Amino acid sequence: MMAVFSFVLAGLLGALHLTNADEVILMEPFDPLKVTGTWRVWKRNTHLIEQTSTVRCIEVEIEHDENSGDIFKMLVKWIDPNNGNLNISFYVVDDRSHPARFFFKADQHRIALSVLGTDYNNWAVAYGMLGLKESYFVAARKLPLDDAALTDVESIISKNQVSKDFTVVDHSSC
C-alpha cells in the first residue's frame, strides 16, 4: 500500500523504459491499515512518467476511511523543477486474496502496487505498475534511514532479485 507506495507511485514516479524484475515476492503477513500516513519516496529504479525524471520531494499520503472497506486513497505530491508543486490522487483496493497487493479502483484487473516488505514505522519496499511499465521503490516515513533499516531494505531488494540501479530522490529544500 506504500507510495510511495506508490508506486500508484509506480504510475507516477517512473520513466519510459521497463525494469527487468525477476521477482515480486509479497510480504506475508501484511496489515494494510498500518501503512496509512505519510511516506517519502527515497529511491526508485525507473521513471514511469517522463515528467518525473527530475522531480524532488516525492511524498505519498495513504488514507483509509473505516467505512470504505478495502478502498484506500493515495495522494502523491512532488516538486517538478519546471512546473512547481504537483499532485495527483487516486483510489486503490487491496486484494482480498493477498492484502499486500493493491489494484486501481477504476480497473481492478490492473495491479497498482505490491508491498514486498515494510516495518510499518520506518521503511517500505514496493513494486508498482502502470500499464506495462514497472518500478521498484523504497519509501521512508522519515529520512535518512538508519543502518538497521538500510540492512532490512537491502535484504528485501536482494530477495526479490532486483538488479537495476536505484536513483535517489532529492528531498532537500522540501
What CATH number does residue 126 fall under?
Answer: 2.40.128.20
Q: Is residue 55 part of a domain?
A: yes
| Domain hosting residue 92, numbered range | 8-168
Q: Which of 22, 5, 32 is nearest to 100 (CA)?
A: 32
Q: Is residue 39 part of a domain?
A: yes
pTM for this model (two decimals): 0.82
Q: Is residue 2 part of a domain?
A: no
Q: Is residue 61 part of a domain?
A: yes
Q: Is residue 174 part of a domain?
A: no
Res. 44 pLDDT band, cuts 50 70 90: confident
Question: Tens digits of per-residue pLDDT, 91-144?
Answer: 999 998 899 999 989 887 778 899 999 999 999 999 987 566 778 999 999 999
Res. 49 pLDDT band, cuts 50 70 90: low
**CA–CA dist 152, 144 (Å, integer):** 14
Residue 140 has what pLDDT? 98
Q: Amino acid letter at 85? A: N
**8-state DSSP, 33:** G
**% the chain with pLDDT above 90:** 57
Q: Is residue 127 part of a domain?
A: yes
Q: Which of 30-34, 79-83, 142-146 has the lowest mean pLDDT?
A: 79-83
Q: Is residue 146 part of a domain?
A: yes
Q: Which of 7-11, 20-24, 28-32 has the lowest mean pLDDT?
A: 7-11
Beta-bridge partners for 71: 93
Q: Is residue 3 part of a domain?
A: no
Domain count, the chain: 1
For 152, the grid coordinates are 532490512
Q: Which of 148, 153, 144 is nearest to 124 (CA)?
A: 153
